[in-house]
Structure 1
């Protein structure tokens, strides 16, 4: 795909009018100017200032002499950079690859984007008109290279769109300033009477290098496409992202769901073709007022099933506030994993964790209640009960060791063993009864002891003697005594419950 770039030039972009000038304009509905180091840097008013002969760059004293009622305020340091960064993020609705062109420009890589707005002409008109509606004085240019787009946006009086491969012809009549040259080089060109790019573009390169250095040739080559030029994007490109601009703004849940279906079908088709599935995804809704509404989902295993993912997102669509309307949707797969394609067979029935309906149900349960936590455990290579299992990273993670089945283990293991009072006939015998949370349990059957030694290379402490006991009501418990009986005090604990 041929690269195409859009350069936006914000003339007089020095501060944020809404935060700085609005209080003054409410009090002084006349002329307002902003100064820096004793000179005007912008007129933040209507055309009255220009009619009075006031222009950016004029000394404040001269401006006040022309128009005594002129209100002058100081520039706020760093505010222009913050505003430019905000504008660049706002432009993400028009291209996923946007960068700041300090001090007063934005660069967009619009390759493959313009057709979504009906072509480059309509695309440029749409972008510029949106900024003009918000009070910005902006010009734009489109070309194959960043340098050519930058040049026509600022210096071309005619068409701001350069056809593919025609950037050299479009640059010949422009001022050398359009090449982003150093002031020393501009002065030298002017002193030699070279007042246009065409007046020196055809000269031998050795002559240009000797008189103006390599930087002039580099800028000329970048603008014409001989040398590549790159910019730093404000946001890394997400490999698995789909975008859907809207011809008309969307403000209903039905419209959002339809847009989501289109995005998911495209994304899942790509993922399926590459043998991948998503684990986490985010839907970003860009509103016309500049704000972004976002909802996210997560899945227990990697999947590219459109129907299931739509159900997960549908549970969170009511959280979106469209306000005056949404003009762009972006769907990002923020976490991707490899997935094995399901081998469907007429005679096979997927059961257990391999059944996709089980994992889809778990996903819906977690999406309905953010506090819901569903975990799967797999065995770990430890005999100490608290370390004998671990949380699986995925629902179908394959265990590296087998479960310990030589002796009974409880269905529910307490995270921290709880102290109990026990009556036993002699130290090595199982309990006759025990008290737990104010209730007395009389032991009917018991099995044990099973001694489990502490893993001394991990921590120090006493061993445990475990007993598997059943009370008169058939309830079964896993009890243990910590350490040897010392004749003074027994440390008995309850550690689990059997089904």
Structure 2
């Protein structure tokens, strides 16, 4: 299913001027760009402060200066604005393989097949908005099944929405008709007829609409609702290694798509080998006969140019491709690549040695099936508290040079956070002789300890005087536990269970 993100940059020209530094203007001072329109000088773009004062693009400059005395003026540069928008669209290729500028102030992204790499649609939009705003640009986002619906909700919905699949009809109904990207004259004419909302327009017979407004009104409505296709002019990274296949007849069978992927990965692998590169991110794009693309994006844990491995990764995801009435072109691009030189393969592996390439391929296959954010390995962390002494790192992250102390045995499983237990000790500061955990009474047969651990005073004032006495105990049934007391018995120390299993 197609999913499209619309990035709306409502004050793109003025934000670009401020960021470029050509006009040192305080953020609260109104800033506009000015262009010549025939014999007149008019406002080409206005920032948020100017808009709040009633200024609008197209307003005569003399009228604007009469309304706002301290107005900051900069000459409009539409060519520079378009070039900057294209550069920003190129930056957005890090989020999705298909990105299309939408001048003068928008960008479209095809997020289907790529959103999961960023934690899902909501997480991807949040990160995209955060990074664009950090660059000094105002941004509004929308996501829907069609470019028209995404454009409408990004600019006219009360908040940044994610329209659920097939939900554009309900989402668009309360929005004004100008959200359909109609000419100002057509939108004004519809409002004069009482058709101010898209829901009202959708319920109106189409023949009178075509007779009065032409085909554009109904065409835009069909594009927004998904009843008509709307191809986009996507960017192509010029330097990225790529392979492309065109077909004399449209294809669509799953086994045919799998063979096409095998050919593409073979062609791409040869290109990568000539350049001494390995792919870290791959974008597979199928172009259907109706102009709509179907895209998949995959990442690899290590640089790779093994065609069989890359084809196998895509084979796990080809079931999500909708060929429609057929696919006429397929392309595979290594949108992110890293140096990968040839290396000698040992005839015999040393005992216990792990082949890094084989491990990388295993991680890639698991990431395709489980999701890239679900793979990790445990690594030691420098910390006195046991629950802080282990952390999650990427599965192929290099070792940090840290090891857990071999002379301090630890349980097989930590209970995090520690659970409160009721314990009885024969002596005030001795190991417990009996404790109750989760309603079960355990009588201690053997015990070892204490191992005293102090708090990390550099983290907080509360840990300056913190202390724990740990005991390894075994009950009469042979089960082993790791218990600690958080203060001496004389100070009212309480008992906690922090681990279970073999120590």
| TM-score normalised by length of structure 1 | 0.50
Structure 2 contact 280–300 (Cα < 8 Å) conserved? yes
Alignment of 1:42-191 (within 5 A): 71-73=211-213, 90-92=232-234, 97=236
Match of 1:149 in 2: none
Match of 2:368 in 1: 367
Whole-Å Cα distance in 2 between the matches of residues 379 and 474 of structure 1? Answer: 29
Structure 1 position 369, deviation (Å): 3.8
Match of 1:482 in 2: 486
Structure 1, residues 431-457: CA drift from partner, whole Å, max 9, x if none? 223333333333333222112222121
Structure 1, residues 93-150: CA drift from partner, whole Å, max 9, x if none? xxx54xxxxxxxxxxxxxxxxxxxxxxxxxxxxxxxxxxxxxxxxxxxxxxxxxxxxx
Structure 2 contact 251–328 (Cα < 8 Å) conserved? yes
Match of 1:53 in 2: none
Structure 1, residues 76-96: CA drift from partner, whole Å, max 9, x if none? 7xx79x99xx9996344xxx5
Match of 1:421 in 2: 422
Whole-Å Cα distance in 1 between the matches of residues 341 and 482 of structure 2? Answer: 41
Task: Quickly say closer, same or farther: Cα 1:361–1:371, change in 2 above 3 A.
Answer: closer
Corresponding residue SS for 1:294: strand
Whole-Å Cα distance in 1 between the matches of residues 273 and 435 of structure 2? Answer: 58
Task: Quickly say closer, same or farther: Cα 1:91–1:491, change in 2 above 3 A.
Answer: same
Whole-Å Cα distance in 2 between the matches of residues 256 and 349 of structure 1? Answer: 40
Structure 1 contact 35–72 (Cα < 8 Å) conserved? no
Q: Structure 1: state its 5+ residue gaps.
A: 1-17, 20-33, 39-69, 98-235
Match of 1:246 in 2: 247
Whole-Å Cα distance in 2 between the matches of residues 402 and 489 of structure 1? Answer: 31
Alignment of 1:301-320 (within 5 A): 301-320=302-321
Task: Quickly say closer, same or farther: Cα 1:90–1:485, change in 2 above 3 A.
Answer: same
Structure 1 position 423, deviation (Å): 2.5
| TM-score normalised by length of structure 2 | 0.50
Structure 1 position 496, deviation (Å): 4.8
Whole-Å Cα distance in 2 between the matches of residues 35 and 312 of structure 1? Answer: 46
Structure 1 position 274, deviation (Å): 4.6
Q: Structure 2: state its 5+ residue gaps.
A: 1-147, 150-181, 187-209
Whole-Å Cα distance in 2 between the matches of residues 281 and 472 of structure 1? Answer: 58
Structure 1, residues 347-368: CA drift from partner, whole Å, max 9, x if none? 3358454354444334333433
Task: Quickly say closer, same or farther: Cα 1:434–1:37, change in 2 above 3 A.
Answer: closer
Structure 1 position 272, deviation (Å): 4.1
Structure label with greater radius of gyration: 1
Match of 1:333 in 2: 334
Structure 1 position 324, deviation (Å): 0.9
Structure 2 contact 375–395 (Cα < 8 Å) conserved? no
Structure 1, residues 445-486: CA drift from partner, whole Å, max 9, x if none? 322211222212113332222222233343333222223334
Alignment of 1:207-246 (within 5 A): 237=238, 239-246=240-247
Task: Quickly say closer, same or farther: Cα 1:386–1:321, change in 2 above 3 A.
Answer: same
Whole-Å Cα distance in 1 between the matches of residues 414 and 353 of structure 2? Answer: 23
Corresponding residue SS for 1:71: helix
Structure 2 contact 363–395 (Cα < 8 Å) conserved? no
Match of 2:5 in 1: none
Structure 1 position 287, deviation (Å): 1.7
Query: How many positions carry a matched residue from both structures?
Result: 294
Structure 1 contact 481–493 (Cα < 8 Å) conserved? no
Structure 1 position 372, deviation (Å): 8.9
